[in-house]
């Protein structure tokens, strides 16, 4: 069954101003999945005007009303769980376990949490003879990637709406239909027309005009560092505040470890999560050289648990990549890594074997581990965005391990493993990352998340996510 959708502007499903469409391919089969309208400046102008007209009224509503609207959206997303799970299997190859936890559960939780945080984020306080108040920035342009199409949209839309901003969302044209489900849910949640708008199209046709639009007050973007640089450039021309959550080449640094089996399993699971298509993936396992033989043995055993297969099968742990373009990009990085002489422990170029006939045209990559990786090499420095792990041995103690961990242009996520918690915490403080996990610490969905260096700036999740969409005003009397 092919999918088709429209733009959602001013509370109405809106046809494109031209007959141009963009085709969308299924990640699991490579066949046509459906079409979306190829929006342009006309659609952007309409959506921004609708958001501008709605913003003052939306911001003026009691925060409890906005909170209730967000809770209705959360409930609506949970009610569509099966639709979403089936759709992201086709759009991006997302396996069922990841889809249920992150694409649905975490996305819905973001709306509930934003509703919970409104009062704290907008709390008024007194400082001497000044009254300090928090106000919404206004109209927000939200541009989201394809790897977590619903969760990433929630991280931007929910906090912006919570504090009284209105939103124009541009999802990736690679995975647009999940965003359309969000629009369907919003349309049934009784928000005022124009508060939430959705425009389909490319970055060139829609994204750049949206970011540059004089009636857009703030921009939030998740994607590559190259695209993020362009977004910052365009927004900077009109001095708009920008939140950028970009790529990562994230280290898992083992300092000393009795339970290597748990540490290596944690690394492989992170590197291969969502088929390796996670900006926060711990794709570099940095280990003392004396541990290398045992780490290699354990890594081989773990990789065997990630046999590529149909993402619609509940038993599958590794699905395809999202698009042919992404598969080609990954193969280019693998080819350059092999040409450089880096040792392959398992995997490499080429399609994995054992796939069903229906999946013959899907965008599957072979799960790959490189070992004896040299700091500064291709796979140590470049984000592969596929099921690839680089094992980087080091000598010389914790200082050398930290130096290697920090030796990329990125600074997003990191992990440390050590029996000595004091040592682990000291190392965590020195790592160039906004989030660090010690000994497989649990994920905290409300802790601030964002980047440093080429991984971007600004924070998402929890109250920090709401604060990105407000400005502080002091009133003296």
DSSP, res 303: H
DSSP, res 290: G
Q: How far apart are CA 220 and CA 232, in angstroms?
A: 10
Q: Are 343 and 370 in contact (CB under 8 A)?
A: yes
Catalytic-residue membership of 215 = no
Sign of CA dihedral 423, 429, 432, 438: positive
Tell me which residue of 50, 6, 46 sits closest to 193, measured CA to CA.
Answer: 50
Tokens describing residue 44? 């952007």
Catalytic-residue membership of 279 = yes
Q: Give all strands (DSSP E) within 1-129, no chain letters.
A: 3-4, 7-9, 12-14, 21-25, 32-37, 125-127
Tokens describing residue 295? 């780490």
C-alpha angle with apex 151: 133 to 153, nearest 5 degrees?
A: 60
**Residue 257 vs residues 186, 208, 369: alpha-carbon distances, Å:** 48, 48, 21
| List 94, 279, 382, 460, catalytic entry | 279
Place of tokens 């239909």: 177
Identify the three-state secondary structure at position 470. Answer: strand
DSSP, res 191: P
Q: How far apart are CA 133 and CA 307, in angstroms?
A: 54
| List 91, 245, 296, 467, catalytic entry | 245
Q: Which alpha helices (H) appear in 61-100, and where do they start and end?
A: 63-79, 81-91, 96-98
Q: How far apart are CA 172 and CA 176, in angstroms?
A: 6
Q: How far apart are CA 65 and CA 441, in angstroms?
A: 36
Which residues form the catalytic set? 245, 279
């Amino acid at each position: 069954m092919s999918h088709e959708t429209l733009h959602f502007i001013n509370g109405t499903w809106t046809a494109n101003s031209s007959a141009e469409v963009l085709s969308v391919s299924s990640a699991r089969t490579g066949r046509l999945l459906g079409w979306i309208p190829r929006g342009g400046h006309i659609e952007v102008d309409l959506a921004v005007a609708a958001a501008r007209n709605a913003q003052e009224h939306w911001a003026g509503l009691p925060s409890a009303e906005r909170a209730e609207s967000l809770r209705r959206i959360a409930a609506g997303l949970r009610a569509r769980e099966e639709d979403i799970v089936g759709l992201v299997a086709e759009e991006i190859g997302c396996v069922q376990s990841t889809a249920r936890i992150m694409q649905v559960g975490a996305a819905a939780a973001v709306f509930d949490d934003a509703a919970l945080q409104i009062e704290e984020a907008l709390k008024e306080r007194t400082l001497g003879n000044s009254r300090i108040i928090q106000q919404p920035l206004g109209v927000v342009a939200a541009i989201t990637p394809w790897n977590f199409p619903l969760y990433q949209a929630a991280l931007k839309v929910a906090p912006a709406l919570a504090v009284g901003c209105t939103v124009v969302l541009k999802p990736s044209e690679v995975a647009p239909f999940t965003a359309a489900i969000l629009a369907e849910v919003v349309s049934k949640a009784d928000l005022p027309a124009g508060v939430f708008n959705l425009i389909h199209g490319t970055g060139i046709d829609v994204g750049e005009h949206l970011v540059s639009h004089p009636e857009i007050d703030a921009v939030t973007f998740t994607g590559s560092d190259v695209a993020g640089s362009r977004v910052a450039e365009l927004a900077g021309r009109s001095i708009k505040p920008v939140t950028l959550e970009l790529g990562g080449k994230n280290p898992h640094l083992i300092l000393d470890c009795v339970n290597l089996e748990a540490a290596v399993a944690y690394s492989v699971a992170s590197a291969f999560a969502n088929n390796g298509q996670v900006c926060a993936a711990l794709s570099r396992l940095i280990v003392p050289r004396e541990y290398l033989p045992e780490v290699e043995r354990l890594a081989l055993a773990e990789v065997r648990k990630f046999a590529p297969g149909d993402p619609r099968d509940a038993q599958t742990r590794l699905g395809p990549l999202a698009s042919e373009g992404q598969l080609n990009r990954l193969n280019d990085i693998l080819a350059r890594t092999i040409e450089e002489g880096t040792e392959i422990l398992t995997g490499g170029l080429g399609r994995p074997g054992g796939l069903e006939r229906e999946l013959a045209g899907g965008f599957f990559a072979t799960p790959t581990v490189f070992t004896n990786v040299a700091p500064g090499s291709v796979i140590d420095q470049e984000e592969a965005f596929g099921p690839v792990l680089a094992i980087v041995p080091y000598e010389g103690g914790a200082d050398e391990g930290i130096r290697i961990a920090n030796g990329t242009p990125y600074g997003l996520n990191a992990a440390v493993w050590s029996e000595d918690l004091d040592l682990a915490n000291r190392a965590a403080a020195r790592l160039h990352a906004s989030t660090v996990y010690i000994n497989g610490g649990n994920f905290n969905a409300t802790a601030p998340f964002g980047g440093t260096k080429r991984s971007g700036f600004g924070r998402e999740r929890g109250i920090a996510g709401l604060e990105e969409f407000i400005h502080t005003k002091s009133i003296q009397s």
